[in-house]
């Protein structure tokens, strides 16, 4: 059975090579994501995370699925939104209605709520 990182990576490849070319909307989403990555990547790299560990911590057992430009893992308490072109994720606390820091504490600080997903060789 594939792990969370593998499922995310496979979906990101399909999105980057095929889906983004399927419509103008997807092309715009893709390029907006790449612009966000170019602008914020150095800050996100300060918070490198293993996607498998984050999924196990917040949405254990959830397989996730592609939804537009995001790969989403969702349970009754949290939503993990992993941006496929940008390679970052955020964790949304459904009860607090806020994104969280790495410990799960709700935060409005954008620098604390964006995490760069480690590449397989970094895990």
- 71, HSE (Cβ side, Cα atoms, 13 Å): 27
Q: How many domains does the chain have?
A: 1
Segment 29-44, tens digit of pLDDT: 999 999 999 999 999 9
Q: Could you tell me which residues are beta bridge partners of residue 81?
A: 72, 90
The confidence band for 123, taking pLDDT boundaries of 50, 70 and 90, is confident
The confidence band for 112, taking pLDDT boundaries of 50, 70 and 90, is very high
Segment 50-106, tens digit of pLDDT: 999 999 999 999 999 999 999 999 999 999 999 999 999 999 999 999 999 999 999
* 34 CB burial (10 A radius; 0-12, 13-18, 19+): middle
Cα angle 117, 119, 121 (rounded to 5 degrees) comes to 145
Residue 91 belongs to domain spanning? 4-122
DSSP-based three-state secondary structure for 63: coil
* Tokens coding 52: 């498998």
CA pair distance 2, 5, nearest whole angstrom: 8
Q: Would you say residue 1 has pLDDT above 60?
A: no
The confidence band for 122, taking pLDDT boundaries of 50, 70 and 90, is confident
């Amino acid at each position: 059975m594939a792990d969370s990182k593998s499922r995310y990576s496979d979906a990101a490849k399909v999105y980057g090579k095929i889906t983004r070319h399927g419509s103008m909307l997807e092309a715009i989403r893709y390029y907006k994501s790449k612009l966000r990555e170019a602008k914020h990547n150095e800050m996100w790299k300060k918070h490198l995370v293993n996607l498998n560990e984050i999924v196990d911590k917040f949405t254990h057992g959830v397989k996730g699925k592609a939804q537009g430009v995001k790969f989403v893992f969702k349970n009754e308490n949290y939503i993990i939104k992993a941006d496929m072109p940008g390679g970052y994720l955020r964790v949304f606390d459904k009860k607090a209605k806020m994104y969280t820091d790495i410990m799960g504490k709700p935060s409005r600080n954008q620098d604390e709520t964006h995490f760069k997903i480690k590449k397989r060789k970094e895990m």
